[in-house]
Amino acid sequence: MKNRIKIYCVLWDTMPLTDSIIEIAEKNNMSVLSQVGGCFTMTSLFELFTGKMPSDILKNGMGHRCLEKYRDKKTKKIHLPWESDNINFKLSKRGWKIHLHNIPPNNCIHGDINTDSYEGGYEERYKKIKEYKKPTYSGKMMDNILIGKSSKSRKWQEREIKFIKSLSNNKIFNNTFYFIEYDHFHSFPSYTKNMGQKNKKIIRKKVNKRIIELMNSWNFDEPNSIFWFFSDHGDQEKTGKIPKAESYLSWVLFKDNTIINKIVTKTKIISIRDFTATIMKKFCYKDKKVNENKSINSFCDKDRIYFVEDGRAQVNKMESTTGIVCRVIKWKGDKPINILQVAYFKIKNKFYYHLNMLDNKGRYKNCYRVDIFDKKYKNELVELKNKLKGRFKWVK
């Protein structure tokens, strides 16, 4: 039988890049990449799966509740107008099997299709929520299962470990794309909402331990497999109306165990939209080219410009409210150190300018405002501002 390929695309929702995750990458010869993505899960996954910005398909972009526009009044089902743009649709057309695991309903990937989970918890989690009125991390039942004290919580963790370990032994007859989601860190704020700082630290350690336990359950040397582990955005509690790099800069762990057309990473920072370009190029599949996107085996372009689109629920639940353009302006070898950004806040029709500082592992450190008239940054900021105006029609 011809060797079939597995792609493990695994979302560790909101998870920061910890030293423990870096150690896993180093131990298993995985590349660690900084990633410019969205500021909440829906926009990040939209970009990951389509290779496009929300405003490329939706006139005014994407808010937390925008999927409700596509709900059929009779069937109550959501029908995504961009379904054919999703990479899982493109792979499926080429004979791939698609396996979604732990993905909630009302997702921008598949609409209302429930996916498999050992707990079967998502159906229970959402059955009391009509028309998606609560954010996905608000379900107390799933919070308790992911990071709670009960035996049910521990059994869920054990079943997930068993599921992960079974994947490498699964015999497949078609190339298979796995998309798997773990929400532990996303559940952390709601689970610890009424706790003091001491207890929050204890729970945070527990969350980290469970995530590392799950990560270590994978066989990263499985032949004919591709691993794309990633986080989708930063700490949601720290994301304001003008997001900084702490909100849109996340990470990817990557490894390609295939032989033909093997992907070797040649950059330390990517766009979340590069996923689609990477996979389509890897398998020589023809696709509509998006000039902003690059395969991660392309050489690092140190002048590359990145775009971010965000919609704050407290401002507008249906549309994007902020557009951001950024560029790395200082490097340490091939690692990004400083990111200069220009942001436009639609509600106030105003531009904001910031410089983001990263540590030597590509993680957000701090940020401060800069003046567009500062001679040190003026030319760069003016250029970025014009790029932002040209990218989004709603940026004036």
Check which CATH number belongs to the domain holding 219 and give it. 3.40.720.10
Judge whether 65 and 132 are in contact, CB under 8 Å: yes
- pLDDT confidence of residue 339: 98
Residue 138 has which token pair? 């608000």
Angle at 322 between CA 231 and CA 233, to 5 degrees: 5
Is residue 353 included in any domain, yes or no? no
Residue 381 has which token pair? 């900021």
Q: What pairing do the DSSP bridges indicate for beta strands 249-256 and 31-36? A: antiparallel
Is residue 173 included in any domain, yes or no? yes
| Helix or strand run (H / E) with residue 38 | none
- What secondary structure does DSSP assign to 45-112, as a single string? HHHHHHSS-HHHHSTT---TTGGGGGB-TTT--B--TTGGGSHHHHHHHTT-EEEEESPPSSBTTTBT
Is residue 78 included in any domain, yes or no? yes
- pLDDT confidence of residue 105: 58
- pLDDT confidence of residue 134: 38
- pLDDT confidence of residue 27: 98
Is residue 219 included in any domain, yes or no? yes
Is residue 369 included in any domain, yes or no? no
* Residue whose structure tokens are 């909100």: 247
Q: Which domain holds residue 77?
A: 6-302
- What secondary structure does DSSP assign to 200-257, as a single string? HHHHHHHHHHHHHHHHTTS-TT-TTEEEEEE---S-GGG--SS--HHHHEEEEEEEE-
Q: Per-10-residue mean pLDDT for the chain, 396 residues long?
A: 88 96 98 96 93 93 86 78 89 90 66 45 41 42 78 86 92 91 86 88 93 97 97 87 95 97 96 96 86 91 96 88 97 96 96 97 94 93 97 94
- pLDDT confidence of residue 104: 66
- pLDDT confidence of residue 371: 93
CA dist 339 and 364 (Å) reads 10
Total residues belonging to the chain? 396
- pLDDT confidence of residue 1: 43
- pLDDT confidence of residue 194: 85
Q: What pairing do the DSSP bridges indicate for beta strands 6-12 and 350-358? A: unpaired
- pLDDT confidence of residue 277: 95
Is residue 394 included in any domain, yes or no? no
- pLDDT confidence of residue 135: 36
- pLDDT confidence of residue 30: 98
Name residue 116's beta-bridge partners: 101
SS percent in the chain: helix, strand, coil, step 5: 35, 25, 45
Is residue 161 included in any domain, yes or no? yes
Is residue 364 included in any domain, yes or no? no
Judge whether 132 and 106 are in contact, CB under 8 Å: yes
Structural domains in the chain (count): 1
| Helix or strand run (H / E) with residue 9 | strand 6-12
0.85 exceeded by pTM:
yes
Judge whether 31 and 256 are in contact, CB under 8 Å: no
CA dist 274 and 367 (Å) reads 26
Q: What pairing do the DSSP bridges indicate for beta strands 6-12 and 176-182? A: parallel
Q: What pairing do the DSSP bridges indicate for beta strands 31-36 and 176-182? A: unpaired
- pLDDT confidence of residue 113: 44
User: Which amino acid makes up residue 198?
Assistant: K
- pLDDT confidence of residue 118: 38
User: Which amino acid makes up residue 23?
Assistant: E
